[in-house]
Structure 1
């Protein structure tokens, strides 16, 4: 088995935080988002990370202190309209490297609270390692389910945790979801299905979730498993703050090199290395590294590196790296 992580999207919904930074390298509760994936993958699995030319140097720097069996695959795209698409990137890797192993596929902007080894064990359980398997999640809200692929199966079975379940259909971002069970960015594809992925990608290079629906419609058996632990698709400002809150709770996570004086931190707050705060109030906000904040009220904000804020009130904002805002 080999692991393949998609990490090449330009993540425009999180600009300016991801304008010059790969979303999987965005700090989440004190470390890059992708680290949660890497630390969860069994050591014996070789990992390929697919990214684009814009983020190549950033990933190479990140990789220096990581495990040895990680390979970077660079897609030479510098704009979104130059990309080959998520499924297209998978297909290129499969064909150019003559991959003939089962593939553990992950999207690099997802956070998974369960242990990947448990998922891998489900794949081999009961001799069913010839069937595609993916992780689903009960989002418990049909309005939110409209943003995802909605999984359908027989009756009430579709909400049983920690059990392999046969999928019947997948609704792609439906206007009227029939379930609150949604697909996540975690799949295992048996090696015999890889040519089918490559063929489907020719006409649908940007439709990763669509390959599951295609398999089901062509009678290729697909199973799923639901874990009860947290899952986040971190594709927006709100999702980023929600994931932060889930990881640290109602607490203040402050780097040991940060300085805080006469400052009140409410809710879930993260303060990065070498940042300095004085005479301020923070609520449910994330402050990156080397920031200086004086006499401010900040609520539900994400402040990038090297920002300077003085005598201001800020709510519901993401600030670009190096921003200076002062009020006399």
Structure 2
């Protein structure tokens, strides 16, 4: 109600009173309510202009010109749904009401377009040697190689921040000082960044054991620092929570077409013949959502890969699920991938920025 009480007036107030509130406020709407905040109607600049053109007087009661059937939403309406309604009806604000039609808030277009702030930790693996990209990685950690105008790790962090995430942990090993000196505490990106360093490589899952014990008791997103993607992390997190998974592996569909006929045999006899078949797979993108119980199961200094860690928990009847992404994704593992990233970055990441701003 913080942004609402100052724009609420009684039905006995005058049109002049409403116009003063409209002139003084930034929401461009006034709510007409009973003393217990039951919404009776709304009035905007357009309503007052139309009323005066109909020869209404400034001292007339605002109830005589208010919109008695304003569009409203409830507390259960999602931000995306509210934004869609405001865009469809060309509104800059929409009242939020309870079941009895009492005002409990006001959603503005500006608020709806801001990313929801999320406290979930983001853990980025940035300690690899990047040997397949030598000599570029001889004196530079692979995630710090520039793609376009900034390091690929910076693209990654900025994308998370644009989607409302702010709490980062970065695992380092090879040339950690380059990463630390560039990002510092993360404040330049409106984020908080802490570092854990692997004295010895611990595998794709071992660095989880180096995270602080006081992490919030909510799911953590973990991923490799050499990936470019337009993945919607908020949707991934929502999918994980809604399905009550203990861990979620983000996957994407890939296919391989064999350019020859494939013959299968048994005891030298042909059992099937398929001409140039196409095989489809789900491949691991290196992006995970992990519940705290999975994170805490890795001991400090333990060397373990993520597939092994997740298989151990699957055998203990933990719910290990998948999320299939159809978004842009590129694992920069080889020189040809790095060259492709240079071509893709402007097209895909400019589009991502526009999507977030809308």
TM-score, normalized by the shorter chain, greater than 0.5: yes
| Contact 1:53/1:74 (<8 A) preserved | no
Could you give the per-residue CA deviations for residues 153-179 of structure 1, whole angstroms, max 9, x where no partner exists? xxxxxxxxxxxxxxxxxxxxxxxx974
Residue 182 of structure 2 corresponds to 61
Change (3 A) 1:62 1:45: closer
| Contact 1:75/1:83 (<8 A) preserved | no
Residue 90 of structure 1 corresponds to 208
* TM-score (norm: length of structure 2): 0.51
Residue 247 of structure 2 corresponds to 132
Q: CA deviation at 1:216?
A: 2.7
* 2-structure distance, mates of 1:11, 1:50: 15
Change (3 A) 1:115 1:53: same
SS of the counterpart of 1:140? strand
Q: CA deviation at 1:188?
A: 0.7
Could you give the per-residue CA deviations for residues 45-90 of structure 1, whole angstroms, max 9, x where no partner exists? 411111126231443224467324332314264xxxx333332222
* 2-structure distance, mates of 1:141, 1:3: 33
* 1-structure distance, mates of 2:308, 2:322: 15
The answer to whether 1:46 aligns with 2:167 is yes
SS of the counterpart of 1:83? coil
| Contact 1:53/1:75 (<8 A) preserved | no
- 1:138-177 map, 5 Å: 138-141=253-256
The answer to whether 1:186 aligns with 2:280 is no
| Contact 2:171/2:207 (<8 A) preserved | yes
SS of the counterpart of 2:194? strand
* TM-score (norm: length of structure 1): 0.55
Which of the two has higher C-alpha Rg? 2
- 1:275-294 map, 5 Å: none
Change (3 A) 1:53 1:180: closer
Residue 60 of structure 2 corresponds to none
Q: CA deviation at 1:206?
A: 4.5
Please report the RMSD computed on the Cα atoms of aligned residues, expressed in angstroms. 2.9
Residue 4 of structure 1 corresponds to 123
Q: CA deviation at 1:14?
A: 0.7
* 1-structure distance, mates of 2:250, 2:282: 10
The answer to whether 1:70 aligns with 2:202 is no
Change (3 A) 1:193 1:206: closer
Change (3 A) 1:72 1:217: same
Which is richer in strand?
Answer: 1
The answer to whether 1:224 aligns with 2:322 is yes
Aligned length: 206
| Contact 1:129/1:190 (<8 A) preserved | no
Q: CA deviation at 1:26?
A: 0.8
Which is richer in helix?
Answer: 2
Q: CA deviation at 1:181?
A: 0.9
| Contact 1:46/1:69 (<8 A) preserved | yes
Residue 239 of structure 1 corresponds to 337
Task: Specify every segment of 5 or more residues in structure 1 that has no aligned partner in the other structure, as ranges.
Answer: 144-176, 250-328
Residue 117 of structure 1 corresponds to 234
Change (3 A) 1:188 1:9: same
Change (3 A) 1:29 1:70: same
Change (3 A) 1:94 1:141: farther
SS of the counterpart of 1:66? helix
Could you give the per-residue CA deviations for residues 3-50 of structure 1, whole angstroms, max 9, x where no partner exists? 111101111111111111111111113321112221221334411111
